[in-house]
Amino acid sequence: MEKFERFRAEAPVFEYKSYTITETDETVEIDYVFSIAGVADFHPGWSFPRPAGFTVEGDLAFERLAFSLGMAEAVSYWKATCSPLMRVECGSLTDEQIRWWKKLYFLGLGEFFYVNGIKADIETFIDIQCSGSFVCTTETERPTLSGCLVPIGGGKDSALTLETLTQAGMKCRCYAINKRNSITGTVLAAGLPESALITAKRRFDRSLVDLNSKGYLNGHTPFSSVVAFSAEVTAYLNRLRYIVLSNEDSANESTVAGQNVNHQYSKSFEFEQDFHNYEERFLATGIYYFSFLRPLSEYQIAKMFVSHRKYLPVFRSCNLGSKVSPDIWCGECPKCLFVCLILSPFLTRSELCDIFGRDMLGDEKMTDYFFELAGQSEHKPFECVGSIDEVNLAVTLAIRRYESGGEELPLLMQKYKDAGLYRPGTVDAINEAYCGRYSETNLLPAEFETILKKEMERLL
C-alpha cells in the first residue's frame, strides 16, 4: 500500500497519447503511445493480416475498434504507477463508457490489488478524462457478416469448441495472438487447413519490464479483455459474424474465498455480457460476441474433450510453458496440475504421464497446489483453473477408479484420503448432477445452443 500511494503521488498522470493506423499491402498496423511523465513512454502495437482488397482508410468503425483496443492495452502500463488520473488525448468517451472502463479495470485488477496489498475502491482508484476530439459515434453502415471466429489458445476448451462447431458444419476461422505450435496443432487436428488460422502479432513494450525490475508495481491484468477487443478487430477485417469464445461457467467463481477477487474476471459471464453490450452500444459493428461453453463446467468440458483423442498430443494449457518454443507443459505449476486432475477420472495414470511428460500425481512438490485447488486454503491458485467442487469431484472419482482397479493410489490422492477429504458416498449423484448441468446464464444464439445440447447428449 505504501508503494501504491508513493507512486501515485510521484506520477499523478498517465496519458493515452495516440494511436496510429497504417496499412501495408499485407497488414493493418496499429501503434500506440502511452506516457507516464518523468517515468517512461511506452510504444506497444499490433499487426493484423489485411484481407485482399480491404481498406480501413476513412472507416470510423475501425477507428472506434483501434481506439478501444488501446484502452484495453493501457491498463497493463498504467498499473506500474497506478496514476490517479488517466488522460485520454486521442479520443472521447461518454460518462457511461468511462464507468464501463473503470469497472473493467477495477475488477480485472482484483488480483493485482489483492496480491500487492492495495486497498482501492472503484470510485477513487482512477479518474478518466478525455481531451481528444475523436467521438465514438455509432453512425455507420454495417457490412454483411457471416461465419465464426474462434479464438484458439491451444488448450482443451477451444479445441472442444472448434471440434464441435466444425463437425456441425459451421464455417469457422480461427484466431490467435502470436502463433504457437499447440495453436497450429489444434487447427490441423480439427481438419482445417493452416490458412484457416488468422494470427495477429502483439508488440509488447518491454520498458514495462525494466520498470518492474526497478520496483514499480506489477501483477495480473485482465488480458482476456485484450483478446476480446483484438478478436473484434480481426472479425471486422474478415467480415465474420460471431466471435465464439470457450470460457466456461466455472470461470465465474472467485479465486479468494469470501471476496470478489477473480483471476478470471475477464473470462467471467459478467465481463462477457458487459463486452457484448459495449459492442452493441458503442462499437456497433454487428459482430456478436459470446462463449460457446458458458453453460458448462470445466468438469463437463474435460469429460467431453477426452472423447476427441486426436487433440491429446497437441493441446497445451500452461502459461509458463507457452513462453518457450515449442510450447510445453512445464509440469510444475498449478495450471498443469489442475488440467491433470480434471482429466484424471477419464484417463489412465500412464496416459496422463504421456501428456505432461512426468507423473504429476506422484510429485511431492505439488502438494500445496493440490490442496489449494481442493479448497483447503484461503484462496485457489491465481491461475485459470476450475471450481473447488469440480476438483473434488474429479479427485474422488479418480480415487474410486484406482481402487476399483486394484491400483496403488498416486501420492497426492493418498494424501487426499489421509486428510479425510475422500467422501465417495454421494459421488454418483454429484457426478450425474454435474453431467446434466446446463447454465441458462449465457448468450448462445439458438443455433449454437442446439449444437451444444446435441453434443452434450452424445458425449455425456
Cβ proximity of 265 and 108 under 8 Å:
yes
Residue 229 domain-assigned (yes or no):
yes
**DSSP strand pairing (197-203 vs 45-49):** antiparallel
Burial of 440 (0-12, 13-18, 19+ CB in 10 A): exposed
Residue 304 domain-assigned (yes or no):
no
pLDDT of amino acid 22: 98
Distance CA 457, CA 453 (A): 6
pLDDT of amino acid 138: 46
Q: Would the pLDDT of 227 be above 60?
A: yes
In the block, residue with C-alpha cell 500511494? 5
Q: Phi first, then psi: give them for residue 457, nearest 5 degrees.
A: -60, -35
Distinct helix (H) and strand (E) counts, the chain = 17, 11
Residue 345 domain-assigned (yes or no):
yes
What is the DSSP code (8-state) at residue 409? P
Residue 312 domain-assigned (yes or no):
no
Question: Are residue 224 and residue 321 in the same domain, yes or no?
Answer: no
C-alpha cell at 452: 451444444
Question: Are residue 287 and residue 342 in the same domain, yes or no?
Answer: no
SS (H, E, C) 249-314: HHHHCCCECCCCCCCCHHHCHHHHHHHHHHHHHHHCCCCEEEECCCCCCHHHHHHHHCCCHHHCCC
pLDDT of amino acid 142: 66
CA 29 from chain centre, in angstroms, equals: 23
Question: Are residue 254 and residue 356 in the same domain, yes or no?
Answer: no
Distance CA 302, CA 398 (A): 13
Distance CA 440, CA 14 (A): 41
Question: Virtual CA dihedral for 131, 132, 135, 141, nearest 10 degrees?
Answer: -160
**Neighbouring residues of 389: CB distance < 8 A, sequence distance ≥ 6:** 375
pLDDT of amino acid 141: 64
Report the amino acid identity of residue 289: Y
Question: Are residue 229 and residue 376 in the same domain, yes or no?
Answer: no
Cβ proximity of 172 and 147 under 8 Å:
yes
pLDDT of amino acid 293: 98
Question: Are residue 238 and residue 345 in the same domain, yes or no?
Answer: no
Q: Rounded to the nearest 5 degrees, what angle is found at the Cα of 66, between the Cα atoms of 62 and 71?
A: 145
Residue 32 domain-assigned (yes or no):
yes
pLDDT of amino acid 132: 67
Residue 227 domain-assigned (yes or no):
yes
Report the amino acid identity of residue 432: E
Burial of 436 (0-12, 13-18, 19+ CB in 10 A): exposed
Q: Would the pLDDT of 295 be above 90?
A: yes
Please give the tally of structural domains in the chain.
2
pLDDT of amino acid 324: 82
Question: Are residue 334 and residue 275 in the same domain, yes or no?
Answer: no
Question: Are residue 70 and residue 33 in the same domain, yes or no?
Answer: yes
Residue burial 323-344, b: 16+ Cβ < 10 Å; e: rest: eeeebbbbbbbbbbbbbbbbbb
Distance CA 225, CA 246 (A): 14
Looking at every residue in the chain, the average pLDDT score rounds to 94
pLDDT tens for each residue of 402-458? 999 999 999 999 999 999 999 999 999 999 999 999 999 999 999 999 999 999 999
Q: Phi first, then psi: give them for residue 285, nearest 5 degrees.
A: -90, -20
Question: Are residue 55 and residue 130 in the same domain, yes or no?
Answer: yes
Question: Are residue 342 and residue 255 in the same domain, yes or no?
Answer: no
CA 215 from chain centre, in angstroms, equals: 27
Which domain covers residue 419, as residue numbers?
Answer: 317-437
Q: Would the pLDDT of 139 be above 80?
A: no
Residue 254 domain-assigned (yes or no):
yes
Which is nearest to 200 in space by CA: 90, 65, 108, 328? 65
Q: For the chain, what percent of residues have pLDDT higher than 90?
A: 89
Question: Are residue 268 and residue 324 in the same domain, yes or no?
Answer: no
pLDDT tens for each residue of 28-68? 999 999 999 999 999 999 999 999 989 999 999 999 999 99
Q: For the chain, what percent of residues have pLDDT higher than 70?
A: 97
Categorise residue 58: left if φ over 0, alpha if ψ from -120 to 50, beta otherwise: left
Question: Are residue 251 and residue 135 in the same domain, yes or no?
Answer: yes
Residue 299 domain-assigned (yes or no):
no
Q: Would the pLDDT of 134 be above 70?
A: no
- Which of the residue ranges 159-168, 185-194, 252-261, 374-383 would you say has the lowest mean pLDDT? 252-261
